């Protein structure tokens, strides 16, 4: 490395997304109505002075929250105003990471225990497939897909509980989990992939070893690199 190369520090990309979300939230409450067409992606990039990935992440969060709707080949439309229905998903998007993790630790533990007791062969095949896709995405550097497969794997454990209430609650956490993991993986200095732990978790569920599955689920939420993990 050239001695004159400057030393870079991690860019707080999540804060940039939050700033865009805050302004979009205000605009959706005061300037747009349900059914209105939103500006195009390039227009939003120019308006906010940010890159494509920031706009896409902000829009994706609002889509998951049920505020925006993407119509293929037509554009992005307002589905509802944020103030019209302050859903659980929307409240979770504003929640602090530590609070999300505290609640998720309870849900993950119970989901792992119930999945160990109730999982079917179909459930196991689904989990295995998601872990394989997760690894492939990481190997080729497709971090957006990696995040999606990681979150879907944990959702598949909740689904293997066959408890509809737990499944609905966990699904409500998905948007917040995607946002936090997206932020975490960008911080390559501290990020630690835990594929082996995920493999062990799947094996414990397959073996119907509930205690080990619970332990591994909680271990996955332990801090890494001095910060709280949200994987």
Domain-ending residue, one of 46, 78, 110: 78
Q: Is residue 231 domain-resident?
A: no
Closest CA to 56 of 69, 45, 67: 45
Q: Is residue 195 domain-resident?
A: yes
Task: Looking at the structure, tell me whether residues 138 and 208 fall in a common domain.
Answer: yes
Q: Is residue 141 domain-resident?
A: yes
Q: What is d(CA 116, CA 207) in angstroms, rounded to the nearest whole number?
A: 7
- Write the CATH number for 146: 1.20.120.530
Q: What is d(CA 158, CA 110) in angstroms, rounded to the nearest whole number?
A: 9
Domain with 164 in it: 95-219
Kindly tell me the sign of the dihedral angle through the C-alpha atoms of 89, 95, 99, 101. positive
From first to last of the 231 residues of the chain, give the pLDDT tens digit.
444 444 534 444 457 887 888 888 888 888 888 899 999 999 999 999 999 988 998 898 888 777 899 998 899 999 876 655 555 666 666 677 788 788 889 999 999 999 999 999 999 999 999 999 999 988 887 877 888 899 899 999 999 999 999 998 888 787 667 766 655 555 445 566 789 999 999 999 999 999 999 999 999 988 655 444 445
Task: Looking at the structure, tell me whether residues 73 and 99 fall in a common domain.
Answer: no
State pTM to two decimals: 0.59
Eight-state DSSP code of residue 76: E
Quickly count: other Cβ atoms within 10 Å of residue 71's Cβ.
9
């Amino acid at each position: 490395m050239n001695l004159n190369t400057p030393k870079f520090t991690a860019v707080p990309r999540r804060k940039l997304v939050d700033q865009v979300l805050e302004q979009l939230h205000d605009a959706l409450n005061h300037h747009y109505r349900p059914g209105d067409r939103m500006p195009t992606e390039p227009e939003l990039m120019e308006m906010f002075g940010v890159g494509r990935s920031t706009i896409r992440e902000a829009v994706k969060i609002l889509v998951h929250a049920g505020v925006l709707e993407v119509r293929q080949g037509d554009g992005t439309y307002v589905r509802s105003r944020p103030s019209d229905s302050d859903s659980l998903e929307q409240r979770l998007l504003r929640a602090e990471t530590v609070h999300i993790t505290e609640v998720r630790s309870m849900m993950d533990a119970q989901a792992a225990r119930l999945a160990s007791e109730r999982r079917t062969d179909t459930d196991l095949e689904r989990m295995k497939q998601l872990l394989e896709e997760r690894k492939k995405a990481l190997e080729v550097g497709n971090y957006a897909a990696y995040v999606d497969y990681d979150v879907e794997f944990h959702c598949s454990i909740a689904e293997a509980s066959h408890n509809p209430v737990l499944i609905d609650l966990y699904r409500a956490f998905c948007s917040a989990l995607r946002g936090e993991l997206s932020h975490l993986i960008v911080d390559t200095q501290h990020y630690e992939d835990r594929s082996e732990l995920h493999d062990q978790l799947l094996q414990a569920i397959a073996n119907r070893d509930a205690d080990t599955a619970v332990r591994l689920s909680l271990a996955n939420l332990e801090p890494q690199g001095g910060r709280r993990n949200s994987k």
